[in-house]
Structure 1
Amino acid sequence: MSSIPPQRNTYSNVIEMEMSENEEVRIEIPDNNSTDNAIVVREWEGCLKGNAVTKRSQRRIERVPPLIFKCEKGKRNQECYEPAVVSLGPYHHNQTELAQAEKYKLITLEEFRLSCTKITMGDLYNKVFEVVEEARNCYIDGSTDGYTDEEFARMMLRDACFVLFFIECISCAKNKVLLNNEYLGALGFANVVRDIFLLENQIPFVVLKVLLELRFPADNKGGEDILNRFFNYLNYGEVITGGEKVLDHKQPLHLLELYRSYFISLKVSLGLGSTHSSKWPRKWKKVTESSEDYNYVKRNRSFASVTELKAKGIFLKRICNESSNEDIKFLSHFCYGELELVRRAVSSNTKAIYLNMIAYEMCAHNPNDFRVSTYIRVMKSLVIQRDDVKELRNHNILLHSLGRDEEVVKMYDEIDVPAVNLYMFNQLRKEIEHHCSSKYKTWAAELITGYFSSPWKTVALLVASAILFTSFLQTYFTIRPLPDDSNADMIKLLRHCVYSKQPPTKLA
């Protein structure tokens, strides 16, 4: 057999294949390719441990991975990835069922222009046209080929102004928010938030940035403020200014990526807040941990729910400092444990937003540490029944507007989490399991939860103890009564104490 010449292309990571006459296959990988692969592996390892990842190539606004729809939950949740009111960007553009919002975009465009000082419509268009090529490159290949630069710039301008006008109305509680109800209706207005955070409905942040700079020319402080207030509205259900900076020199690809980075901050050491000292031999512990490192089922298994943890002496506590960059923290004390969680609001749009953030983390070319997936996986373990939601509500950790607590349980149950950061999740799970395996801690927890969980139970315990003690004394002295002369001796002692007491000195 004649040798087949190796095929070459313009990529640097060329794989050369040569087939000899005895049909032996030889694969030659150049040294530079192995170096690139090693860099990728090191980046992913560092990413899973919480380190920053260097952007190696041009990332794109991806579509939802098709594998998500292969599972049963993915099929049922398919509508959570599709816009219900408004299309943003080229992926769902010109859909007939979304035509009403296209007319409203022209109104929001004019309202946004009026809010800018001494800015004409031409100024807005020219500013967007300056970044039109960069914005095109943010979408997957072929998705923008049907638009000229002028058409694409006009689409970006309308969509971006719609998003920014809506965010500013919510953040500043302006009366112009009534325009949304007038043209979209109350139901349509309620679904705009979910449409803004759909993975396939994203506007390149570079377009939003140039328009924010026109709207707030003074160092863009106002743009930072409205984004901060809008994200806090989604997180906590309140339009407040606080927490960490939204941008903080970040260069996000789109709004969903920016909100994801603001939504949750899981530290690599989230499971290392325990203060206990291990009672197991160091050698035995090392073998156990190394065996679990390669067992996916053991590392990914769930832990107890909120009510089960409470029975084991692990109590909930809300993290007061919501800008501390620690949204989940576990502390094991002498006779009880504390699971600290940050406050979160749950609404009718939360499920779709969660699913799209998970879909973003599942996309290729998006190296990340699966922070949102890990957080939701923790919540799925904690919330399995109505009483779990009640405990979270009572501690002001979970606020929801779904009506019944069962709806929150249903929401978490319907969210599928294909992958998590096992390094982070496994740390938290092992610390909780280690606390629960301690006998004296669980016995102390049973005593606390059974007899000291309320003032009335404590009073009842003290009264019962007093009755039991007096009954014991009565029984004891019935069996072994005191001698008769002992009573006389006691009376003499009392009289001696009374008469030996000096009377108080009278002042003249």
Structure 2
Amino acid sequence: MDVSRMHRVPKLVRFNKHNKEHYYTPKMVSFGPYYYGLPELRMAEELKRKVLRDFVPNGCKELFYIRINEVIDQIRNCYVGVSRDEYDDGALAEMMLLDASFAIYVMEINLGDNQKFEHSRQHLGITATPFVSEDLILFENQIPFWVIKLLYRLMHAEERPLIYDFLRFFAFKNIRPIIPGEDEGQPLHLLDASYRLLVEDVGNAREEPFNRYRWWQWRRENQNQLGEYNRQSRSVTDLKAKGIHFKPSSYCLKNIKFKSCILCGQLQLPILFFHANSKLIFTQLIAHETTLENEYNFTVLCYVNFMKSLIVKSEDVKELREKKIPFSDHDSDEQIVEAIKEIDTHGLETDFIFDEIKKKIEKYCSSKKKTWIAELFHTHCRSPWSFIAFLAATLLLCLTFLQTYYTMNPRKQRCVPSSVLQVLVEMCFDSSK
């Protein structure tokens, strides 16, 4: 499969359980040729021309046309089934100009441009902007990434990181992680750029690509080993009761690690912003991931399935939120639970790239010594008061035993006077009340 093309959503993904067409079809605006000309998108097409007229200088338009016409065949080849009979070179170049200028317009609105927000509100209404932003990252609703960058460079004397600022805002709200570099080629489109932002571990050595075909062969040869730790999924609260603590790792979805200590374990999870569009965004990212080969190892799919096993109720979200792992603009933890549950993985339940992590977790949970100590602390040391009560009760039990022992062995009472024992027992009894 050619990863340099704007693919359509695979049929098995689009219609897996029931019709998911609305996940991939734009509601307000089209970008690129796949949904161009739909009657329900006509209002946005009119606004595109107003944006081009009001915000793009004529000199930039002329230079853009010249540059685009030089590579118009390359742009056409990015799409599947877009012939010259349907769109000639001039029509395709005009589409790229209108769509690129409108994409920049939408990103600037999201980043706080009040002038453009008022402009949009007057033409589309205040409720339409969120839908336009959603349409901008739909899998089948994309234009080449470099086309947007080209127009932006022509419009501004200095290139500002508008595109990545928008993607970081969309994925992480006000958190600003390091953006991935372009040493190995720039993203294909905005959704691909968003995907790289989430799966590339910036600042660390690039891992060798995981060969999933080699993994399937290993899986067939090691079924017994897999069964040892894949029998059940454990939620956050279950793992906490076993003495496993949680800590944020980074902004990379594949950066999940587990460390086992003498008395406890630590599971490190990626930091992520959950919001009302998380379900839609993850659906698009998984669809995009199915068109890639093995370069990114189905990272998003595996991450979503892993999180589904960890988060099953609001108490799980509360525990992770306290550790600053997920953050959101949802009103309740229950909404995050529902958002994660509703992400469609198209029947692909695997999280195979985290198998080694799951194996370590299961090994830790199978250790009776570690889990017994952890459960003891989890039950009796949740707060300073419960710990003090537990300590007092333990001391009381020990002193009661000593008093009984010395009562039954009068000759040994010389070591500790009974009056001293009685006083200590009474003190512990009073403190335990």
Q: TM-score range by the shorter chain?
A: 0.7 to 0.9
Q: Are positions 1:139 and 2:74 aligned together? A: no
Question: Mapping of 1:9-408 within 5 angstroms?
Answer: 59-72=4-17, 74-75=18-19, 77-113=20-56, 119-142=59-82, 145-171=85-111, 174-218=114-158, 220=159, 222=160, 225-238=161-174, 240-245=175-180, 247-248=182-183, 250-265=185-200, 291-292=221-222, 303-319=233-249, 321-322=250-251, 327-363=255-291, 368-408=296-336
Tell me which amino acid in the other structure corresponds to 2:341.
Answer: D
| Alignment partners' CA distance in 2, 1:410 and 1:474 | 57
SS in structure 2 at match of 1:340: strand
Gaps of 5+ in 1: 1-55, 270-287, 489-508
Q: Give the TM-score, by structure 2 length.
A: 0.82
Q: Secondary structure of the equivalent of 1:429?
A: helix
**Cα separation, 2, equivalents of 1:385 and 1:255:** 33
Aligned length: 404
Matched position secondary structure for 1:187? coil
Q: In 2 relative to 1, CA 487–112 (structure 1 residues): closer, same or farther, beyond 3 Å? A: closer
Q: In the aligned structure 2, how far is the partner of 1:299 from the partner of 1:100?
A: 54
Change (3 A) 1:82 1:57: closer
Q: Deviations over 1:61-95 (max 9, x none)?
A: 111111124432x53x4311111111111111111
Q: Distance in 2 between matches of 1:171 and 1:205?
A: 19
Check if 1:472 corresponds to 2:408: no
**Secondary structure of the equivalent of 2:170?**
helix
Larger radius of gyration: 1
Q: CA deviation at 1:301?
A: 6.8
Does the Cα contact within 8 Å between 1:384 and 1:409 map onto a contact in 2? yes
Q: Provide the secondary structure at the position in 1 that maps to 2:128.
A: helix
Alpha-carbon spacing, 1:305–1:181, altered in 2? closer, same or farther (3 Å): farther
Per-residue CA shift, 1:312-369, capped at 9, x if unaligned? 22221112x547x863222122221111112111112111111111111113778642
Give the stretch that moved more between structures: 425-434 or 127-136: 127-136
| SS class of match (2:126) | helix
With 105-114 and 437-446 compared, the bigger mean Cα shift is at 105-114
Report Cα offsets for 1:196-231 as digits up to 9, x if no partner.
11111011123113113223444x3x1xx2233222
- Which of 340, 358, 373 pairs up with 1:444? 373
Cα distance in 2 between the residues matched to 1:101 and 1:261: 29
Distance 1:354 1:252 in 2: 18
TM value normalised by structure 1: 0.71
Residue aligned with 1:92, SS: coil
In the TM superposition, what is the alpha-carbon distance from 1:108 to its structure 2 partner?
Answer: 2.7
Change (3 A) 1:397 1:484: closer
In 1, distance between residues paired with 2:306 and 2:87? 44
Aligned equivalents of 2:68 and 2:224: distance in 1?
50
Deviation digits for residues 244-267 of structure 1, max 9, x if unmatched?
345455322211111101112478
For residue 417 of structure 1, report the CA deviation from its aligned partner. 2.3
**Farther off after superposition, 413-422 or 377-386:** 413-422
2:179 alignment partner AA: E
Query: CA separation of 1:111/1:343 partners in 2, compared to 1, >3 Å: closer, same or farther?
Result: farther
Distance 2:337 2:140 in 1: 27
Q: Quick check: 2:198–2:251 contact (8 Å CA) kept in 1?
A: no
8 Å Cα contact 2:258/2:266 also seen in 1:
yes
Aligned partner of residue 104 in structure 1, secondary structure? helix
Q: Equivalent pairs: percent with the same residue?
A: 34
How well do the aligned residues superpose, as a CA RMSD in angstroms?
3.4
Q: Which range is displaced more, 361-370 or 77-86? A: 361-370
Report the Cα distance in structure 1 between the residues aligned to 2:81 and 2:386, rounded to whole angstroms.
Answer: 67
